[in-house]
Amino acid sequence: MKKLLLIQIAMFGVTCISNAQSLDYTTTNFSTSFCNLFNTPPATVVGGLTHYPVSGGVSYDGTALILKTRGGTSQSTTFGTAYALAIQIKQGFVYNITVNMRKQSDDPVSIPSFEIGGINSLPDPNITNPVACGSVSQNSWSLLQSSILNITAVNTLNSQNYQLLQNYTANSNFAYITLLAHSGSQTKETKVLINSITILETPPTPSFTLTQSAGDVSCGTATSKIFTVNNVYNSPGALSYDWNLGANNGWKYNGVDAPATFTTSTNSITLVSSTTAASVSNVSVVPKINATGYPNLTAAVTFTSGFANNISINAPASRCPSGSFSINNLPSNATVTWQANPSNIVSFPNPSTGNPITITKQGDGSTSIIATVSVNQCQQSYSSTFFYGQTPTTGSYKVGSGSPISANNPVNYVPPSQLITLTLNNTASIPGSPFSIQKVYAIVS
């Protein structure tokens, strides 16, 4: 019946503390007749925090909680008592927890240990024995020692403050803290008497992140994107958000062209890309608490042309003195504008548009041929690098059989996977290999 009672009590839940929490046991008027105070209805609440039995039974002497202990040489002969407080310990917050307590024993040299731990659920009562009276063996509470946050020795006969946690930054969230007294004299029972507990919580500096819903924005489409500011530590105060999209940002907000800047009291906005926009801006926001601004956050938006992935430049096998270039898989209604970088190696017709287009050699060297494909306001550039003139003595080569290919005998396009980079002359070969190194007249990147 006692175990059923424990399960019913555990349904009361977890309490959030507000800055400082004081649990004063000296004026609670608990009954001194119970050997397991926290397993006796109604649920024990002190300082707004619900108390639960964990291992053994906590009793009361009229002014202090009593946690009984005894030392031993093994888990079976070492005894202790533990209880838990339902309290929300929050990751990133700083905690100072002080316990005012003392020891009491007929053995003057008895020094019991006192441990504080953090857990997210009450342990299995079939293991920890929370319905017993007084202390229980370490077999019942040893699992609590895997979640210890700190341990101290209770070595004073007079009550004093023991700093269990000092400027402790929580590295995770906890739903409960456990308080465990154990060990001490192996010949006499020892009591740890707790008068009060003070818990001081200090929130971290407010921190925010900005996230966006998944997916790229394609040119010419009305793509909806949700941008959300996340209050990492749930920092309190009057929250506001100053959004900055910039002028001509390509977004619509609430059905109309989005302004360059605006302020909201909600942490989330929905933007829709304009179907006539050539691009959309990134989204920036400055979160504020009580009118105090925090660091600017920016979400980078990926904007694509929406063209197929199989578009490429088609180059002729022979380009000297001129050659016809074209775009493979050109979209419908598209125009193509051509240029080169550097621009002194080849020349284009005027205007440099069309598909195909004739490109004429003007000098020696490598140049990037760039084709910009446009459909209405949407465009994307494609480029490939080509060499005009004498084959260099260093650069990219392919492995093949036969005599080295001369500069006057160009070869077809060579996939990059077949290229190797070497410093060789026209007749070099790979040692121990029947293959020669053939210079590639057309170096394609």
What pLDDT score does 404 carry?
A: 43
Task: Report percent pLDDT > 90 for the chain.
Answer: 75
> Is 246 within a domain?
yes
185 and 113 in a common domain = yes
For residue 281, being part of any structural domain is answered with yes
159 lies in the same domain as 244: no
Domain that holds residue 407: 394-439
CATH code (residue 364): 2.60.40.1080
Report whether pLDDT(412) > 90: no
Q: Domain end: 177, 202, 227, which one?
A: 202
pLDDT of 394 over the 50 cut: no
User: Is the peptide bond between 351 and the residue preceding it cis, with omega within 30 degrees of 0?
Assistant: yes
**Cα radius of gyration rounded to whole Å, the chain:** 38
Q: Which residues pair with 162 in a beta bridge?
A: 99
Interatomic CA distance for residues 151 and 159, integer angstroms: 18
At 3 the pLDDT is 35
> Is 145 domain-assigned?
yes
Same structural domain, 132 and 178: yes
Look at the chain and report how many structural domains it folds into. Answer: 4
Instruction: List 182's β-bridge partners, or say none.
Output: 80, 113
**DSSP summary character for residue 180:** E
Are both 423 and 365 inside the same structural domain?
A: no
Which range among 15-29, 38-52, 60-74, 141-155 shows the weakest confidence by mean pLDDT? 15-29
Summarised one tens digit per residue, pLDDT across range 211-242 is: 999 999 999 999 999 999 999 988 999 999 99
What confidence tier does 18 reach under pLDDT thresholds 50, 70, 90?
low
Q: Which of 14-23, 107-116, 163-172, 349-358 has the lowest mean pLDDT?
A: 14-23
Residue 112 above 80 pLDDT? yes
**Is there a domain that residue 319 lies in?**
yes
Q: Are residues 146 and 90 in the same domain?
A: yes
The pLDDT assigned to 434 comes to 37
| Gap between the Cα atoms of 103 and 184, Å rounded | 10
| Shared-domain flag, residues 86 and 227 | no
Mean of the pLDDT values across residues 36-46?
93
What CATH number should be reported for the domain holding residue 134? 2.60.120.260
Q: Is there a single domain that holds both residue 348 and residue 412?
A: no
Whether residue 276 is predicted with pLDDT greater than 80 in this model: the reply is: yes
CA of residue 36 relative to chain centroid, distance: 44
Whole-model pTM over 0.85? no
Alpha carbon distance 301, 312 (integer Å) = 25
Q: What is the mean pLDDT of the chain?
A: 86
* Domain-embedded: residue 444: no
Specify the DSSP element, H or E, that contains 360: strand 357-361
Residues 90 and 125 in one domain: yes
Q: Are 373 and 327 in contact (CB under 8 A)?
A: yes
Is residue 445 included in any domain, yes or no?
Answer: no
User: How confident is the model over 177-218, as pLDDT tens digits?
Assistant: 999 999 999 999 999 999 999 999 999 999 999 999 999 999
Tell me, yes or no, whether 164 and 81 share the same domain. Answer: yes
274 and 188 in a common domain? no
pLDDT tens digits for 125-173?
Answer: 999 999 999 999 999 999 999 999 999 999 999 999 999 999 999 999 9
Q: Average pLDDT of 412-424?
A: 43
Distances (CA, A) of 8 to 40, 44, 63, 131: 11, 13, 27, 13
Q: pLDDT value at position 401?
A: 39
Instruction: Choose the weakest-confidence range: 5-14, 56-65, 361-370.
Output: 5-14
With respect to residue 47, please indicate whether it lies within any of the assigned structural domains. Answer: yes
* Domain membership flag for residue 382: yes
Among 350, 366, 388, identify where a domain stops.
388
**Domain ends where: 202, 220, 238?**
202
User: pLDDT by residue (tens digit) across 333-346?
Assistant: 899 999 999 999 99
Same domain, 322 and 372: yes
Phi/psi at 127 (nearest 5 deg)?
-100, -45
* Residue among 227, 229, 228, 219 nearest 250 (CA): 219
Q: What is the pLDDT of residues 262-275, one digit of tens each?
A: 999 999 999 999 99
H/E stretch holding 311: none
165 & 197 share domain = yes
Count of beta carbons in the 10 Å neighbourhood of residue 306 = 15
Which helix (H) or strand (E) segment holds residue 32: the answer is: none
Confidence of residue 6 (pLDDT cuts 50, 70, 90): very low
Residue 5's pLDDT band (cuts 50, 70, 90)? very low
DSSP class per residue in 204-250: PPP-EEEEE-SS-EETTS--EEEEEEEETT---S-EEEEEE--TT--
